[in-house]
């Protein structure tokens, strides 16, 4: 069977997924170690028996709904390649908005930034590549996530991040930062979307929070004031219907310049505020 023949067959087989042709191309490229351009230019190339076995195995996994990123073990974020595994969430394009907004507000001089719930390390590592002069601390409760994030940092080549295992702010005790960023769990346990699509395979502990998805956000906002320097920024990613509620949480704690920004699809996604204590 040729590249082209397999792509046609796989695309038809994956008709139930959101992007069957793209999924098939990613799987074929991953197995053959060829670029999409090569696959198209040499579409009559014959697949080996070993390649066919791998392709069919991955195709069956994708048909059952397993995310492409878990099948290939990698995902692009901020034009960087991250290793992923089922112990962490898969980095999503919408989270790049959090990185973008954070970088815009960093002081020009070197400073310290805290990333809470780092997962794959995507947010901290993306920011660290843009600001090698700054020092980042990234925390996650899951020790396996910390190991994965550290390996991603090593692979990408950033050495200005300290990865720590622990519950939110506990590993940093009395330290203060110029900025705190977080993409915490924010989905309500009763949300029907948890039983659909890729999230079925992702860790619930990284997705679900109590109090209609707001519990961890409330904790972060409440405790962050003890760890922010004067005029420091707090930026939190949240659900598309939570913008107003998260703004209220920020304002009740005394944050100034509280604003909610939309992601690239136009949905409320990141709320931020500046800490100022007279």
Is 117 labelled a binding residue?
yes
Q: What is the pLDDT of residue 77?
A: 93
Phi/psi-derived region of residue 254, left when phi > 0, alpha when psi is between -120 and 50, beta in every other case? left
The answer to the question of residue 70 being in a domain is no
pLDDT along the chain (278 residues), means of 10: 91 84 91 89 91 92 88 91 89 93 96 96 97 97 94 96 94 95 77 62 62 83 95 94 92 95 92 90
The answer to the question of residue 81 being in a domain is no
Cβ atoms of residues 45 and 3 within 8 Å: yes
Is 168 labelled a binding residue?
yes
Helices 215-224 and 243-253 cross at an angle (nearest 10°) of 30
The answer to the question of residue 124 being in a domain is yes
Tokens of 233: 């920024």
Is 120 labelled a binding residue?
yes
The answer to the question of residue 82 being in a domain is no
Same domain, 133 and 222: yes
Same domain, 59 and 102: no
Same domain, 210 and 263: yes
Same domain, 130 and 163: yes
Per the structure, the complete domain to which residue 132 belongs is given by: 87-275
The answer to the question of residue 36 being in a domain is yes
The answer to the question of residue 20 being in a domain is yes
Same domain, 93 and 60: no
Q: What is the pLDDT of residue 80?
A: 94
The answer to the question of residue 221 being in a domain is yes
The answer to the question of residue 80 being in a domain is no
Is 185 labelled a binding residue?
yes
Q: What is the pLDDT of residue 218?
A: 92
Strand partners, 46: 2
Same domain, 147 and 103: yes
Cβ atoms of residues 68 and 23 within 8 Å: yes
Same domain, 110 and 199: yes
Cβ atoms of residues 231 and 255 within 8 Å: no
Same domain, 169 and 120: yes
Measured at the CA of 99, the angle between CA 96 and CA 101, to 5 degrees, comes to 110
Q: What is the pLDDT of residue 190?
A: 63
Closest CA to 109 of 134, 144, 130: 134
SS3 100: helix
Q: What is the pLDDT of residue 214?
A: 83
Closest CA to 181 of 244, 109, 91, 97: 97
Q: What total number of domains does the chain contain?
A: 2
Is 264 labelled a binding residue?
no
Is 233 labelled a binding residue?
no
Same domain, 140 and 255: yes
The phi and psi torsions of 177 (rounded to 5 degrees) equal -130, 155
Is 132 labelled a binding residue?
no
Query: CA-CA distance, 51 to 1, in Å (whole number)?
Result: 10
Same domain, 51 and 184: no
Is 160 labelled a binding residue?
no
Among 65, 98, 119, residue at a domain's last position: 65
- Number of helices and strands in the chain (H, E): 11, 9
Same domain, 96 and 57: no
| CATH number for the domain harbouring residue 139 | 3.40.50.150
Is 37 labelled a binding residue?
no
Tokens of 168: 């939110």
- What is this structure's pTM? 0.86
Is 121 labelled a binding residue?
yes
Same domain, 106 and 205: yes
Is 232 labelled a binding residue?
no
Q: What is the pLDDT of residue 89?
A: 84
Cβ atoms of residues 139 and 180 within 8 Å: no
Q: What is the mean pLDDT of the chain?
A: 89
């Amino acid at each position: 069977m040729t590249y082209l023949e397999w792509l046609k067959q796989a695309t038809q087989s994956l008709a139930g997924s959101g992007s069957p042709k793209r999924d098939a191309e990613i799987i074929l490229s991953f197995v053959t170690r060829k670029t999409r351009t090569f696959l198209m230019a040499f579409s009559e190339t014959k697949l080996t028996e070993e390649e066919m076995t791998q392709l069919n195995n991955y195709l069956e996994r994708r048909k059952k709904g397993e995310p492409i990123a878990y099948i290939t073990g990698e995902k692009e974020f901020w034009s960087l390649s991250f290793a992923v595994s089922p112990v962490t969430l898969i980095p999503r394009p919408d989270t790049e908005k959090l990185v973008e907004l954070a970088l815009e507000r960093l002081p020009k001089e070197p400073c310290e930034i805290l990333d809470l719930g780092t997962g794959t390390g995507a947010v901290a590592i993306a920011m660290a590549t843009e600001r090698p002069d700054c020092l980042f601390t990234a925390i996650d409760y899951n020790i396996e996530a910390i190991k994965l994030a550290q390996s991603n940092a090593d692979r990408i080549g950033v050495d200005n991040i300290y990865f720590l295992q622990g519950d939110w702010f506990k590993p940093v005790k009395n330290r203060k930062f110029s900025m705190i960023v977080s993409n915490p769990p924010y989905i309500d346990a009763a949300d029907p979307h948890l039983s659909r699509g890729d999230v079925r395979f992702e860790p619930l502990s990284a997705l679900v929070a109590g109090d209609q998805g707001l519990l961890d956000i409330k904790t972060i906002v409440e405790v962050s004031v003890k760890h922010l320097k004067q005029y420091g920024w707090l930026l939190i990613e949240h659900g598309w219907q939570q913008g107003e509620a998260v703004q209220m949480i920020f304002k009740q704690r005394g944050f100034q310049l509280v604003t909610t920004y939309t992601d690239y699809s136009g949905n409320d996604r990141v709320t931020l505020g500046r800490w100022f204590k007279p």
